[in-house]
Chains A and B, each alone.
Chain A
Amino acid sequence: MNTDLKNIINRELNIHILKEIYIFSNTPMYLYKNFRKDLGIQLLANKYSFADLIDFFENTILKERLELDEIVCIYAIIIALTYIEYYKTAFFFEKLDTYNFKWAKELKYIIMSFAKSTEIIKKKIEPRITIKEEPA
């Protein structure tokens, strides 16, 4: 892992706003939606490779005791990874519930439920009417 990555990530993120969202979140969906709106998190996905972000996540989550900033960073990394092509990060999200942190399982299912495209097509079938002429 890039040793400066933690500092860089902390610099990129507006940690105070994210902390506020995290503390205010009463459901995982609220956290997911509001973290996804954050521009700093979107920038993370653009600036860093998914391998670096996953590396940072795994190194942080293994710590025995996490500070609030680190917890918020963990969620930020997960949400940043949702901006990367899903086929690259699928292996990570599929095992997300094996990590020990709050809403791991819920976030996994939210992210996986959005990892599908949808096509909605409407077809109106014109009736085929056959008129038989009666013989005069």
Chain B
Amino acid sequence: MIKSTIMLCAEGIVRDTESNNISVFNILEQFTSEGFPLFIQKFYVFNYLERELADPSQIDCQVIITNNNAELASVPIHIDFLDKLRNRAIVTVNGLAILNPGRLTARMMLNGVELGSYKIDVVSSRPPEIIPEHQ
């Protein structure tokens, strides 16, 4: 069975060609903004996938990004494990507008089944409105 053992979103992900290792910088946990929509210029969605030998070596997945219930992006990914049992899939998302406070969720889907997900809180920092008392 194909599994996503690590899924996360971060500001930066790089692969060292010398060692083939992945480095992740600034894992996203929360967005805070005074106003919405909030524009995110660039972020990365990382998935570490594992398969068993009986599983196919090539699969077509989708990364779906939602803000609360609204779908913001759906990214098709063709994953080729080659002769390996593990794969790292890195999706660079350029230009995402988060419409409302609440939650941003990235889901890794395979044939309608969720392999993994990552949730980021989206917080409005707008101070509470002060309603003047009527005299």
Contacts and interface: CB of A to CB of B under 8 A. Distances in A.
Interface of A: 29, 85-87, 90, 110, 113-128
A130 to B, nearest CB: 11
- Which of A85, A124, A125 has most B Cβ within 10 Å? A125
A115 B84 contact: yes
Given A86-B83, A115-B86, A125 B94 contact: yes
Given A87-B53, A122-B94, 10 more contacts: A110-B19, A117-B79, A117-B80, A118-B87, A118-B89, A121-B75, A121-B91, A123-B73, A125-B72, A127-B95
Nearest to A120: B90
Contacts of A114: 20
A120 B20 CA distance: 13
B87 A117 contact: yes
Given A113-B19, A117-B80, A124 B95 contact: yes
Interface in B64-123: 72-73, 75, 77-97
Contacts of B89: 118-119, 121
Contacts of B19: 29, 110, 113
A119 B78 CA distance: 8
B106 to A, nearest CB: 11
23 contacts: A86-B83, A86-B85, A87-B83, A114-B20, A115-B84, A115-B85, A116-B86, A116-B87, A117-B82, A117-B84, A117-B88, A118-B87, A119-B77, A119-B79, A119-B87, A120-B15, A120-B92, A121-B77, A121-B92, A122-B91, A123-B91, A125-B73, A127-B95
Contacts of A121: 75, 77, 89-92
B26 interface: no
Interface string B12-48: 0001001111100000000000000000000000000
A119 B90 contact: yes
A20 B76 CA distance: 48
